[in-house]
């Protein structure tokens, strides 16, 4: 029941504040109002409009986190956004994957795995991160990348599937 209330609170905040332009004070205010919807949420959380988060009660957010507009985060398998992370617009964090049962994905048991985005990491626009992936601290994921395996600390990755482009 608490999970449902947290989800409804998040949806209410997004519905009532979504029409306000995404200026910094509004991003901060929206993030402040949405804090109770999460398992844990640090200070200075900024949340842009259009973002959809399912199972928010399984999501932990650190300090100074920014979530860009129209992101989709599925927390069923747990999601951790460590301090100082930034999610670019239209980023997808899918902590749940379909499995096949009797030749069909429709009724296969879902595979749920935790996603962690490390401290100081950044995702560009339209990034997809699949279940079970850990993005190392200080790493950047290039726009449009699909991350299917762990990203080491302090790396730049990009592509489909994402590969290491540069080590910092």
Residues with active-site annotation: 98
**CA neighbours closer than 13 Å in the CB half-sphere of residue 15:** 6
Spatial distance between the Cα atoms of 46 and 63, rounded to a whole number of angstroms: 10
How far apart (Å, rounded) are the C-alpha atoms in residues 76 and 111? 10
Annotate 55-75 with DSSP letters as a single string. Answer: SGGGEEE-TT-EE-TT-EEE-
CA distance 53 to 3: 12
- Residue 11 burial class via C-beta count within 10 angstroms: exposed 0-12, middle 13-18, buried 19 and up: middle
Positive or negative: CA dihedral 158, 69, 3, 104:
negative
**Residue 37 CB burial class (10 angstroms; 0-12, 13-18, ≥19):** buried
């Amino acid at each position: 029941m608490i999970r449902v209330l947290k989800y409804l609170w998040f949806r209410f905040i997004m519905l009532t504040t979504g029409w306000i332009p995404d200026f910094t004070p509004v991003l901060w205010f929206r993030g402040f109002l949405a804090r109770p919807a999460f398992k844990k949420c640090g200070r200075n959380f900024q949340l842009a409009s259009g973002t959809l988060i399912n199972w928010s009660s399984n999501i932990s957010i650190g300090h100074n986190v920014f979530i860009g507009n129209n992101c989709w985060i599925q927390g069923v398998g747990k999601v951790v956004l460590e301090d100082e992370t930034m999610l670019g617009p239209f980023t997808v964090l899918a902590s749940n994957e379909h499995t096949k049962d009797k030749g069909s994905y429709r009724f296969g048991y879902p595979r749920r795995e935790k996603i962690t985005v490390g401290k100081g990491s950044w995702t560009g626009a339209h990034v997809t991160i699949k279940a079970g992936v850990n993005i190392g601290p200080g790493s950047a994921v290039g726009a449009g990348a699909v991350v299917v395996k762990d990203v080491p600390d302090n790396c730049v990755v990009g592509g489909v599937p994402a590969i290491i482009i540069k080590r910092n």
